[in-house]
């Protein structure tokens, strides 16, 4: 299945309602508005195809960029490839749910994510923290440095309230994920989340809402979900 056929298939699955939802979250033209679940039959035919993924990602079309992440071969990608992808990720659904997920399936994931977190750029930071969430939620606890993750909890506690909006979301999710999926630091993550308290984020120019990781950690405790790991990062 070549580039032109994939673009035609995606366009054929477009829905105006889905398109409006994506736009309300920050997507812009060009895009079709394809529900992610509807991409699965096409993905099954293609499996992994990095050259095709690169062609699709370079279109700037949101649906094509998302699908590129589905068929990408993460192990064929270098750090410079990921930097190119994050530079083109213009809103969080690309940075956190395409680039960060793809990065999380590589051996260079922590190394690249660390650089993005230190970058000071909102979506790079968001992708870096999100990558750790995908990693912690799927890999054995033994693959991580406990002291490093503990230090990152302290960074969140000290900086989250002054961080850019999307970075706040990802940092808050990091608190939750360490608390739920990384057993050695469950107690410390819970304490940190309580110390952080509610995190205010702007939903739009007039409304804001509050994120509360401690409450969500407690819900996971109540449901017996502590230690949860997913089998696959990408669907």
pLDDT score, position 232 = 79
Q: For the beta carbon of residue 197, count every other beta carbon within 10 angstroms.
A: 13
Q: Is the pLDDT of residue 171 over 80?
A: yes
pLDDT score recorded for residue 156: 98
Q: Within 10 Å of residue 52's Cβ, how many Cβ atoms?
A: 18
Local confidence band at 206 (pLDDT 50, 70, 90 cut-offs) = confident
21-30 pLDDT tens trace: 999 999 999 9
pLDDT band at 235 (very low <50, low <70, confident <90, very high): low
> Angle 224-138-148 (CA atoms, 0-180°, nearest 5)?
95
Contact between 39 and 46 under an 8 Å Cβ cutoff? The reply is no
How far is residue 193 from each of residues 13, 179, 226, measured CA to CA in Å? 41, 9, 15
Mean per-residue pLDDT, 6-25: 97
Confidence of residue 205 (pLDDT cuts 50, 70, 90): confident
pTM exceeds cut of 0.75? yes
Using the predicted structure, report yes or no on whether residue 204 has a pLDDT greater than 80. Answer: no
* pLDDT score, position 22: 97
Q: What are φ and ψ of residue 154, in 5° steps?
A: -65, -40
pLDDT confidence bin for 231, thresholds 50/70/90:
confident
End-to-end, the C-alpha distance of the chain in Å comes to 21
Q: Rounded CA gap, 57 and 97, in Å?
A: 14
Q: What is the DSSP letter of 91?
A: S
Total residues found in the chain within this entry: 235
The two three-digit tokens of residue 121, written as one number: 């750029």
């Amino acid at each position: 299945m070549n580039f032109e056929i994939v673009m035609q298939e995606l366009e054929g699955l477009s829905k105006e309602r889905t398109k409006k939802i994506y736009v309300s979250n920050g997507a812009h033209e060009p895009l079709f508005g394809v529900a992610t679940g509807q991409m699965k039959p096409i993905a099954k035919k293609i499996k992994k195809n990095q050259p095709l993924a690169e062609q699709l990602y370079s279109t700037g079309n949101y649906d094509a960029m998302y699908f590129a992440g589905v068929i990408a071969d993460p192990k064929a990608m270098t750090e410079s490839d990921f930097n190119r992808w994050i530079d083109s990720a213009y809103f969080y659904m690309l940075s956190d749910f395409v680039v960060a997920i793809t990065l999380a399936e590589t051996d260079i994931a922590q190394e690249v994510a660390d650089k993005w977190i230190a970058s000071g750029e909102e979506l790079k930071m968001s992708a870096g923290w999100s990558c750790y969430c995908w990693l912690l939620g799927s890999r054995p606890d033994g693959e991580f440095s406990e002291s490093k993750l503990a230090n990152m909890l302290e960074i969140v506690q000290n900086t989250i309230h002054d961080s850019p909006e999307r970075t706040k979301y990802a940092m808050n999710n990091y608190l939750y994920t360490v608390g739920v999926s990384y057993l050695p630091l469950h107690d410390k993550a819970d304490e940190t989340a309580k110390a952080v308290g509610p995190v205010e984020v702007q939903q739009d120019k007039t409304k804001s809402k509050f994120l509360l990781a401690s409450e969500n950690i407690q819900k996971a405790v109540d449901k017996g979900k502590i230690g949860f790991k997913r089998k696959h990062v990408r669907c």
